[in-house]
Structure 1
Amino acid sequence: MKSVTFKNRTWDVAAELHVPADFDESKKYAAIVCVHPGSSCKGQTAGLYASKLAEQGFVAIAFDASFQGESGGEPRYIEDPATRVEDVRCAVDYLVTLPYIDEEKIGVLGVCAGGGYAVNAAMTEHRIKAVGTVVGANIGRLNREGDVIATLEAIGKQRTAEARGAEPLINNWIPNSIEERDAAGITDIDVSQAVDYYRTPRGKNACAPNKLRFTSVGSVIAFDAFHLVEDLLTQPIQIIVGSVPGAFGSLKDGQELYARVKSEKGLFVVEGATHYDLYDQPESVAKAVEKLVPFYKKHL
């Protein structure tokens, strides 16, 4: 694995390029772009899957989203769906400049919100030949749950305040510690395990500081990762979900995506697995990889 950068517009996107153990620059390789969840970074679950795919002979790239982690872009800590999708396209731009990448054999794999972004990008980026999702979630759908109009009104007031000189409002994606989670009485399995993953040594990473600029949520609310998927997604897709439902809704999103896609498709349910089991737990990840590897080898 080596650190690299590629451009999105005027800033650098920080990435890690994973290559097979017997890598030979004189050969041609299939490549897979790995897209991380919301609030995450290249060194967490996306990087784990990239390393697993490299072990199976692929070149895989995982990157920090623009405005986040070690990537550039201002303002910091925003979640901008259009730019997240453009990050994927720019990763493909970078891969096609590498002499050892077969440009006709580029795929994408997204985890959680990264799965929704991967699908959305592939709809209009047909240099991508195969699409995989692991607990893929439609981040727009998730953020439209609850009193969305009140949220939009609050965003408008905050933008007005910031336009007049107030400090940006930076929230946490999830409770910042196990103690904070427990004090809040959170029992949902997805939120509870998110804290276990992101805010403890299990998966904590300095590039994922659990910060979200509140005003950017407006663009997330208006985003639908699966809009036009019936018409524009022509590539084969492998959808992987866990059987245990939670508040993030990746199980129902995976089922909806499978029902709507008209191209060659597969839905694999990892029985007994939660959303976060498929981030890093060896048994669940192994089952996902065992399904993804033959899928990519067939189509790339």
Structure 2
Amino acid sequence: MESVTFRNKDLDIAADLYLPDGFDPSLTYPAVVSAHPIGSCKEQTSGQVYGAGLAAQGYVVLAFDASFQGASGGEPRFVEDPGLRVEDFRCAVDYLVTLGYVDEHRIGVLGICGGGGYAVTAAMTDRRFKAVGTVAAVNFGRMMREGDLSPDAAIATLDAVAAQRTAEARGADPVVGDALPASPEKAAELGITGLDVVEATKYYRTSRGRQPNGLTRSLFSHMGPALGYDAFHLADQLLTQPLQIVVGGVPGEFGSYRDGFDLFHRARSQHKDILVVPGESHYDLYWKPEATGRALDALIPFYNKYL
């Protein structure tokens, strides 16, 4: 693995480049861009699990930190803007095609959780991606709009975002929200019982998945674009690449199970498949060897066939 950077306009994007065993720069290899979940970083599941797993099977894998997050550049920090996130993917391909050992005609994309939604959006408008894989993909805009499930949840949130942005423009301190409790014990103390929040806390707040840049934070005043975003918009028209979807068979409140089926039905792709991993949850697909192994068992032959 090599640490590299590429540019997204005036920003340096930090990435880890995973190389196949026995790598020979005189040869050419297929490549996969691997995208982390919302609030995650390249050192977690997108890189150390799926990046490493694909590299072991002969792929060059570029796992990157999103703009304004992780080790990548951009101020203010913790911006979660779908337009910026999707442009990161295009710039990742711009970088890969400069590498003589990458076959520009065999580049795929993989996204986990919210990164899966962004991967789908990117592939719809960047035809250099020849195959699309998702693991526990979440349509982040859909999840944000649902909020507390009341009909006006999104409107109330947008009103609050507008007020906070105005306050910051006048000199107020920014509000940086943390999506998770500080520890599993704190989650229990707060009476949190939702499967996805509990398991996310166990992943991000313990040695199971904790990394310095996996902070699950977001800048509240910049959340407006996410509330107007649909990761799968126009998939029925523009998503024609082969598609492999992986979801856990145990649904949670973040909705990756139903989003996976929504994507499957919406996608125009003639070659598409959805794997439901029985008995495993959204976050099991981040780290648990039995779950990630099942996901890779589907993804590797998929990429082998279409890349």
1:250 counterpart (256, 270, 276): 256
Percent identity, aligned pairs only, is: 56
Equivalent residues of 1:104, 1:127 under 8 A apart? yes
Equivalent residues of 2:168, 2:174 under 8 A apart? yes
Alignment correspondent of 1:23: 23
Alignment correspondent of 2:42: 42
1:268: how far off?
0.5
SS at match of 1:231: helix
Alignment correspondent of 1:136: 137
1:151 counterpart (144, 153, 157): 157
What is the one-letter code of the residue matched to 2:23? F
Structure 1: distance between partners of 2:86 and 2:283: 23
Equivalent residues of 1:236, 1:265 under 8 A apart? yes
Equivalent residues of 2:5, 2:13 under 8 A apart? yes
1:210: how far off?
2.8
1:179: how far off?
2.6
1:183: how far off?
2.0
What is the one-letter code of the residue matched to 1:238? Q
Structure 1: distance between partners of 2:254 and 2:213: 22
Spell out the pairing of 1:45-60 with structure 2 (5 A cutoff): 45-47=45-47, 48-60=49-61
Alignment correspondent of 1:278: 285
Alignment correspondent of 1:237: 243
What is the one-letter code of the residue matched to 1:292? L
Verify: 1:295 aligned to 2:302, yes or no: yes
Gaps of 5+ in 2: 148-152
1:184: how far off?
1.8
Structure 2: distance between partners of 1:209 and 1:187: 21
Alignment correspondent of 2:100: 99
Alignment correspondent of 1:71: 72
Equivalent residues of 1:176, 1:210 under 8 A apart? no
List per-residue Cα deviations over 1:87-130 (Å, max 9, x = no partner).
01100000000000000000000000000000000000000000
1:167: how far off?
0.5
What is the one-letter code of the residue matched to 2:201? V
Structure 1: distance between partners of 2:215 and 2:262: 31
Alignment correspondent of 1:215: 221
What is the one-letter code of the residue matched to 1:233? L
The number of residues matched between the two structures is 300
Alignment correspondent of 2:211: 205
Structure 1: distance between partners of 2:278 and 2:194: 19
1:260: how far off?
1.1
SS at match of 1:248: coil
Higher alpha-carbon deviation: 103-112 or 73-82:
73-82
Higher alpha-carbon deviation: 257-266 or 3-12:
257-266
1:74: how far off?
1.4
Structure 1: distance between partners of 2:298 and 2:62: 19
1:227: how far off?
0.3
Verify: 1:192 aligned to 2:198, yes or no: yes
Moved over 3 A (4+): none
Structure 2: distance between partners of 1:180 and 1:159: 30
1:234: how far off?
1.0
1:73: how far off?
1.0
Equivalent residues of 1:270, 1:284 under 8 A apart? yes
Alignment correspondent of 2:150: none
SS at match of 1:13: strand
Q: What TM-score results when the alignment is normalised by the length of structure 2?
A: 0.97
Structure 2: distance between partners of 1:251 and 1:210: 21
Structure 2: distance between partners of 1:198 and 1:250: 18
Equivalent residues of 2:235, 2:266 under 8 A apart? yes
Spell out the pairing of 1:112-131 with structure 2 (5 A cutoff): 112-131=113-132
Q: What TM-score results when the alignment is normalised by the length of structure 1?
A: 0.99
Verify: 1:161 aligned to 2:198, yes or no: no
What is the one-letter code of the residue matched to 2:86? V
Structure 1: distance between partners of 2:284 and 2:182: 20
Equivalent residues of 2:238, 2:268 under 8 A apart? no
What is the one-letter code of the residue matched to 2:66? A
